Amino acid sequence: MTDFLEAAMLTAFSVSWYCSIWKMLTTGRASGKSLGFVLLICAGYVCGIASKIVVFAETGAVSGLVLLYAWNLLVTGFDAFLVWHYGRGAEGAPQHALFPRLAEAANKVFARNASRAEAGAGSTPGRAAAVK
């Protein structure tokens, strides 16, 4: 029963990845996706595969679930590639940023602070000093 439930979980995750990949392929955007997060999930699938290999080494029992873990790792790896590929074209984000949305937000904050410092330098000394 536990293998069945684990297989159901992996199948549900797999369907979710198909939907994510389809959305990115049709929109050409990776908005709201983090490469670091997707790679962390890939690492989780690697740990799942390793656990099945350890069970095999200890008991000799072969689990077909290792194939589902491997398939999900492959699909998630493709999703990670798409996140990297489409994410590097985001406006204002560095070409290979692991977290392009965070980089965009940081660039906006730094640009806003710089413009405030320039604009406020002549008007209100207390305000300009606080921004700097």
Q: For residue 57, give every residue at least 6 positions away whose Cβ sits within 8 Å of its Cβ, in sequence order, or none.
A: none
Question: In which domain, by residue range, is 126 found?
Answer: 94-132
- CB-CB contact of 79 with 38 (8 Å): yes
Q: Are 8 and 68 in a shared domain?
A: yes
| Of the candidates 126, 131, 90, 97, the residue with the CA atom closest to the CA atom of residue 112 | 131
Q: Are 61 and 35 in a shared domain?
A: yes
Q: Are 75 and 28 in a shared domain?
A: yes
Residue 115 pLDDT? 72
Residue 88 pLDDT? 72
Two tokens, residue 126: 């207390």
How does pLDDT run across 43-98, given as a tens digit for each residue?
999 999 999 999 999 999 989 999 999 999 999 999 999 998 888 765 544 444 44
Q: Are 72 and 15 in a shared domain?
A: yes
Residue 41 pLDDT? 95
**Rounded average pLDDT over 26-35:** 85
Q: Are 79 and 22 in a shared domain?
A: yes
Q: Which pLDDT band holds residue 131 (cuts at 50, 70, 90)?
A: very low
Q: Are 68 and 8 in a shared domain?
A: yes
- The answer to pTM > 0.85 is no
Q: Are 58 and 117 in a shared domain?
A: no
- How far are the Cα atoms of 39, 51, 88, 97, 108 from residue 92, in angstroms, in the given order? 23, 41, 10, 11, 9
Can you state the angle between helices 35-59 and 65-87, rounded to 10 degrees? 160
The count of structural domains within the chain is 2
Q: Are 125 and 105 in a shared domain?
A: yes
**Rounded average pLDDT over 109-116:** 70
